[in-house]
Amino acid sequence: MVWMEKSTVSLRQEFVYLAGRHFTDLQAVQSAFDAWRTGYNCERPHQALNMGTPVQRYRPSAVAYSAAMRPIEYPDTDRVVTVGWNGFLHFQGRKLHVSSALKGLPIGIRPSLEFDGVHDAYFCHQRFTQFDLREPPVDA
């Protein structure tokens, strides 16, 4: 099979529209996709890989995958709060929005080292936002 340069073509365009495919059920889609994926990864040269294939470059990770997430821990000096189902948390009498992607997870809040009245919010080891409690509260 000859592969053409399609750097601006999406998977949907290439797999469904350009090929003019119609499927009777999900099993037919899966079978066709499995065949397409084999060609994409094992036969088709990729410009970004110096005209090699992904299977030629693939290396298994040296780090073992663990299905269980390690417990999230924060320093004792952090105030740990759990994000609500809607992405909000309560801190020092305020309702603050962080992200609904963090719902049910603990985040650590610690005073900023730079500014009085400002707090940094961390998820695990990553600071992802700040709360400026010097500002008047915004109704949410």
At residue 1, the pLDDT reads 46
Residues 51 and 84 in one domain: no
pLDDT at 139: 62
User: Residue 106 domain-assigned?
Assistant: yes
Is residue 83 located within the same domain as residue 117? yes
Q: In terms of domains, do 42 and 84 share one?
A: no
Do 18 and 53 lie in one domain? The reply is yes
What single string gives the DSSP state of each residue in 6-29? -TT--HHIIIIITTT---SSHHHH
| Total domains in the fold of the chain | 2
The model carries a pTM of: 0.55
Q: ∠ CA(93), CA(95), CA(99), 5° rounding?
A: 145
Beta bridge partners of 81: 107
Tokens encoding 77: 């000096």
18/49 same-domain check: yes
Cα angle at 15 between 13 and 21, to 5 degrees?
100
4 lies in a domain?
no
Contact present, 108 and 76 (Cβ < 8 Å): no
Q: Which domain holds residue 91?
A: 79-132
Phi then psi for 119, rounded to 5 degrees?
-125, 140
Q: Enumerate residue ranges in the chain where pLDDT < 70.
A: 1-9, 17-19, 138-140
22 belongs to a structural domain: yes
Is residue 114 assigned to a domain? yes
Q: SS3 for 41?
A: helix
118 within a domain of the structure (yes/no): yes
Report d(CA 82, CA 13) in Å as an integer.
Answer: 42
Interval 88-109: pLDDT, tens: 999 998 999 999 999 999 999 9
Q: What is the dihedral of CA 87, 73, 119, 127, to 10 degrees?
A: -80
